[in-house]
Structure formats: C-alpha cells, structure tokens
Amino acid sequence: MVIREVTKGVWTFSKPFSRFGLVPIGGRSTAVKLSDGGVWVLASTPLTEETKKTLDNLGPVKYIIGPDSVHHLFLGDFKKAYPDAKLIAPEAAIERFEDKTLKVDGKFGADPPGTLYGFEHDILHCYFSGFANKDVAFFHPASRTLIQADLLFNLPCTEQYSKSKSSGHIPIFGGMGPSSWAHSKLAWSMGTDKEAMRRDVKTVLGWEFERIIPCHGDVIETGGKQAFRDAYKAYLG
C-alpha cells in the first residue's frame, strides 16, 4: 500500500491489483478531509492497519462511499470499523453485498433526484445512469479534484505497483491513457444510454477540476479536464 497526501486534505491509498489476475490496473481508495472536520472516503481497497491509522488521524470517518457497481468488496469492512459513518453506494453495488444485514444510508440511482447526503457542501457528485458500471463522479472544488472509479483509466499504474516487483505495465499492450483510441472506444462501449451519457459527461465538464484521481492508474495532476474531454469526445459531437 502506498499512502500519500496528494494535496492538502486529500489522501490516496494505492496498491497492486490485476484484473482476472492477469491485467495490472491497480486499486485505490481516496479520503477527503471535510470542512467540518469529518472524513469522506471512497473505499475501494482493503482497510489495512496502516489505512485505518491514517484515516483515524485525519478525523472521524463520516461517509463511506461505493463509487460504482463493482467497487464494493471492502465497503462492509469499512462500515463495521466505522458504524456511525453513512454508507452510500449505487443500488447495483448494494445488491452484490454478501452481508444482507449491512445498513445502507443512501443509494445512488435509486434515491429521488436531488437527494442530499450531507457531504455536498464539500463534494459534488454526478451519477452516470447510462454507464454500464453505474459509476458516480465526485468533485472536490477546494482542491479542484475529480475523484472516480471506472469512468477514466490512466494506465500503466506505476504508483500502485511501485512497492511491488512488477512495473505495473500491461504486457504487450503497455497502457491506456485517457487520450488513447482504446480509452475512447471503451468509454463509448460502456455507455448503455447514449443520451444519458451525453448529459452526465457535460455535467462533469461543467466542473472546474484540474486533477483526476482514478481508482485505476496514476493520478493526473494537471490537465484533468482536457483528459476527461478526450476520453469522452465521442459524446460531445
């Protein structure tokens, strides 16, 4: 696990992860220190002892976020460690919970439009109903940071593999950045409702972000808005 403060009040927890055990795409959780002193965490990696210590030092965890339908494996562990925190995830992720007794405080995509979860004074969100994985994009205006799971990849995942013996590069293929033809094709193929995608892509591009923190691949420190525009250019014509 590589733990670092990306910018003031925004921490990442990065580790190796290979899709199907073969394709290195990396894994990452992200925590944001809220203006009220609480902590919002997109939980996509194991709650290791070092992770928990870092979170506890940041402040009380108030929100545990599942960013899409497939990043759900560790949400239960986080909720059990922080029972007073609100657990919010897409309905499609909640349906996959093994522990059906897990208390959920919000369902992206199932709750009425305009539902407020309590973190909106610090973080905006946009639920992509037309994306296959039912992803949610999050925007932290104070740091001009976009935080998301599978909407945008920035491979190879060098930071996530920096403490391993692997380079994090995809064999033969090498990588996939947001400006690549492969990423544009992936973004189009994952759109199950093209009109909804156009709407939500435009919403995200209306946010003034510079940095993108993906779950898979290296953090994009500058030029993030252009990177997102490049990845989703097929929806902007």
Q: Which domains are assigned to the chain? A: 2-103+123-235 (3.60.15.10)
pLDDT score of 181 more than 80 = yes
Torsion (CA) 79, 122, 183, 236 in degrees, nearest 10: 140
Residue 119: the pLDDT is 98
Average pLDDT of the segment spanning 61-72: 97
Q: Which helix (H) or strand (E) holds 189?
A: helix 181-189
pLDDT over 90 at 21, yes or no: no
Please check whether residue 78 is in contact with residue 60, taking contact to mean a CB–CB distance below 8 angstroms: no
The overall average pLDDT reported for the chain is 95
Region at 80 (left for phi over 0; alpha for psi -120 to 50; beta for the rest): alpha
When pLDDT is averaged across residues 68-87 and rounded to a whole number, the result is 97
Find the mean pLDDT for residues 165-170.
Answer: 70
Burial label, 105 (beta-carbon count in 10 A; 0-12, 13-18, 19+): middle
Q: How far apart (Å, rounded) are the C-alpha atoms in residues 162 and 106?
A: 35
As given in the structure block, the two tokens for residue 64 are 């545990």
Structure confidence at residue 164 (pLDDT): 86
Q: In whole angstroms, what is the distance from residue 18 CA to residue 27 CA? A: 9
pTM over 0.85: yes
Ramachandran region of residue 59, left (φ > 0), alpha (ψ -120 to 50) or beta?
left
For position 126, what pLDDT does the model report? Answer: 98
